[in-house]
Structure 1
Amino acid sequence: MTATNTPATRPANPRFSSGPCAKHPGWTLSALDDAPLGRSHRASVGKAKLKAAIDRTHALLGLPDDYRVGIVPASDTGAYEMAMWTMLGARPVTMMAWESFGAGWVTDAVKQLNLDATVMEAPYGALPDLGAVDWDTDVCFTWNGTTSGVRVPDGDWISADRAGLTLCDATSATFAMDLPWDKLDVTTFSWQKVLGGEGAHGVIILSPRAVDRLESYTPAWPLPKIFRLTKGGKLIEGIFSGATINTPSMLCVEDYLAALDWAEGEGLSGLIDRATANATAIWDFCETRDWIANLASDPATRSTTSVCLTIDAPEGTSKRIAKRLEAEGVALDIGSYRDAPEGLRIWCGSTVETSDIEALLPWIDWAYHAETAA
């Protein structure tokens, strides 16, 4: 293929951003017409919408009956920091990081909370030694590294009889990967990722062990109001039934409910299969070319949502490829994350159509040859 041999087919939807992510197939603005705009989220209609979002999330994910789901402010970041600030410090902690967001949680634990944490790190493309984790400690980790395209392969490495809690940032895994809920005590995500919702809202999922920690432990540091999950030593149950900590956007909630309408039609296994098919198309493309490869060094750890690729070419080539594809209108926002190695990052979550991934790949080929032609 040469720079002049442009592909004949274009993706129907060129949105491959890793967040906020593509809307679900068939999304229309009119789906939000029932949003109770200008109404209090404390009114019966607002609380009913929020409770529906919570209950339907619980059901679609197949959570155990005694797990709680809450909608909280500030996206996945707010949800995860809420968990760290309210639960860490009760026992030793292990912080795991293999990309920028995990590294951010390390900074929070060590420099903000001043915890004497055990830090287990790995470079972009790899994982730390999962077999070396001390399960007498609380363990903080990301399930899927959104900026590295590296995920943990499964939950087998997590001890079933752990003494500490697991705090899992699963924002680019929830609804697209099989999560072992019996191994996860605190799980956070944002609906702007796999279900393509609007930004600024986070979700926190608590196991009974996490609730026990909240009700039996008081941190040594002050807690901002938006982080407080207990009152008088008891869980604030209202957070998990639709009484959010601060004012949510009812337009965003309505958009999430519309996404759940679509997702429930696919089913959790269908959502997982869609993401896997998308990622597999890219992996197969890379296998037949010697100039592009998955950043994840071990195939078992390759992300099926945030697929990160490296390109064997002079520095700056990947950025120019991304700009060329955006100028052609065939791929938007696919440059690698600013802290990650130079390359491409293509979102393959459940709302993306495999046909769009397949239409994009010849364009990547075309752009590479256009940028590297002598």
Structure 2
Amino acid sequence: MNRPTTRPRVPNFSSGPCAKRPGWSLQALEGAALGRSHRSAIGKAKLGQAIDLTRKVLRVPADYRIGIVPASDTGAVEMAMWSMLGSRTVEVAAWEAFGAEWVTDALQELKISPIVRQTPYGVLPDLSAIDTKNNDCIFTWNGTAAGVRVPNGDWIAADREGITICDATSAAFAMPLAWDKLDVVTFSWQKAMGGEAAHGMLILSPRAVARIESNKPAWPIPKVFRLAKDGKLIEGIFKGDTINTPSMLAVEDYLDTLRWAEEIGGLDALHARADANAKVVHDWVARTAWIGNLAADPATYSNTGVCLVITDPDVLAQGNGAVAAVAKGITDTLDAEGIAFDIGAYRDAPAGLRIWCGATVETSDLEALTPWLDWAFSAEKAKLLAKAA
């Protein structure tokens, strides 16, 4: 096929760190409290503002606490696990790499013998089988490495006695979250809002706070995971007194993304942008024979990290190695052309493509991308078949 002529204006389609918001430049960071202590008046004010704007933009319930924590989303999830688990049976739902990490933590580190609800990439486990009424539950709302999300929170018991720990790092700001069903919500700045990495957000319901204050874990808790002291929640964490030293440059960048979200219309606008972006890719997949969604059920299609697999029968006939080679050829070609950066599948996922469609990406850039994907595939398939001949 002919080489396309229209190029994406911004070729950043990475699933983390994700594209900066439209119009971003280094000037957005001019107000950063550089060279100042995060415990100074200005440092505390910036951290407090980040918490307040998070609550406003994300529509976090007023009685939920929001804290800035170390080690990105991973640190936030593990803080919750180390501090809150052990008193009840735990169920872990996993259908891709990151959910599998929480299985590993529960089994090998905390040794709590959880009930594991694990399925292959692309397929949700039977969520209705999870006893959310009595057991604690850990799950990802949107599986970044599989392009699969839970469709809603209806499967979580409203009158639950256990707690729900939700890794929402590629869901927050991009899709509705059922706050009344979630006791712990975590995410990182570098995902849906295109902020810088290293910091995570930990959001706790009143039920989660009660669990932290009543739970006495059988394992030691490292300092960076400690949420309680003398049986009481460390409230300062949720007022901007971070456990370790945050990057005030990264804080300023996160504040910039939140202000941008407000300017474009808040959470509804963020959701609409992600939905429109994902529609471009999903519509292209629906009319394109050589590519398909890794997600098996359209009701579970992600609107952020859209994961795709090669379905062309001629390529599949050459075996898994050929499929992986074609996928790598596409990503390498479009990287070299400056058309699309970092669109390869996650390292543990089936070979294919992963395209970020969150709100910081422009729809026009995705519209410009799809013809280049067709062009690169056509070239890679021709090379493969010529080699096999």
TM interval, shorter chain, is over 0.9
Report the residue type matching 1:282 in the other structure. Answer: V
> Which of residues 60, 63, 81 is equivalent to 1:63?
60
Work out whether 1:347 is the aligned partner of 2:356: yes
Query: Which whole-Å CA distance do the structure 2 matches of 1:233 and 1:264 have between them?
Result: 38
SS of 1:66's partner is coil
Report the residue type matching 1:80 in the other structure. Answer: V
Query: Which whole-Å CA distance do the structure 2 matches of 1:167 and 1:223 have between them?
Result: 18
Work out whether 1:304 is the aligned partner of 2:313: no
Partner of 2:290: 291
Where do 1:207-226 residues align within 5 Å?
A: 207-226=205-224
Work out whether 1:72 is the aligned partner of 2:69: yes
Partner of 1:278: 277
Partner of 2:319: none
Partner of 1:18: 15
Pairwise CA distance, 1:290: 1.4
Where do 1:123-138 residues align within 5 Å?
A: 123-135=120-132, 136-138=134-136
Partner of 2:226: 228
SS of 1:210's partner is helix
Deviations 1:314-371 (A, max 9, x none): 3210111010010110000000000000000000011000000000000001001111
Query: Which whole-Å CA distance do the structure 2 matches of 1:28 and 1:359 have between them?
Result: 23
SS of 2:377's partner is helix
Query: Which whole-Å CA distance do the structure 2 matches of 1:246 and 1:218 have between them?
Result: 23
Where do 1:1-374 residues align within 5 Å?
A: 2=1, 5-135=2-132, 136-266=134-264, 267-312=266-311, 313=315, 314-315=322-323, 316-373=325-382, 374=386
Structure 1: unaligned runs, 5 residues or longer? none
TM-score between both structures, scaled by the size of structure 1: 0.98
Pairwise CA distance, 1:158: 1.1
Pairwise CA distance, 1:50: 0.1
- Runs of 4 or more, structure 1, over 3 Å off, are none
Query: Which whole-Å CA distance do the structure 2 matches of 1:361 and 1:132 have between them?
Result: 39
Report the residue type matching 1:221 in the other structure. Answer: W
Query: Which whole-Å CA distance do the structure 2 matches of 1:253 and 1:131 have between them?
Result: 39
Report the residue type matching 1:37 in the other structure. Answer: L
Query: Which whole-Å CA distance do the structure 1 matches of 2:188 and 2:245 have between them?
Result: 16
Report the residue type matching 1:185 in the other structure. Answer: D
Query: Which whole-Å CA distance do the structure 2 matches of 1:280 and 1:157 have between them?
Result: 26
Query: Which whole-Å CA distance do the structure 1 matches of 2:144 and 2:176 have between them?
Result: 16
RMSD after superposition:
0.7
Deviations 1:162-220 (A, max 9, x none): 11000000000000000010000000000100000001000000000000001111111
Query: Which whole-Å CA distance do the structure 1 matches of 2:196 and 2:189 have between them?
Result: 7
Deviations 1:259-298 (A, max 9, x none): 1110112210110010111111111101111110011000
Q: Bigger CA drift: 349-358 or 153-162?
A: 153-162
CA contact under 8 A between 2:271 and 2:359: conserved in structure 1? yes
TM-score between both structures, scaled by the size of structure 2: 0.95
Structure 2: unaligned runs, 5 residues or longer? 316-321
Query: Which whole-Å CA distance do the structure 2 matches of 1:319 and 1:186 have between them?
Result: 37
Query: Which whole-Å CA distance do the structure 1 matches of 2:360 and 2:180 have between them?
Result: 27
Pairwise CA distance, 1:159: 1.0
Pairwise CA distance, 1:19: 0.4
Query: Which whole-Å CA distance do the structure 2 matches of 1:304 and 1:158 have between them?
Result: 22
Query: Which whole-Å CA distance do the structure 2 matches of 1:90 and 1:319 have between them?
Result: 46
Query: Which whole-Å CA distance do the structure 2 matches of 1:158 and 1:214 have between them?
Result: 21
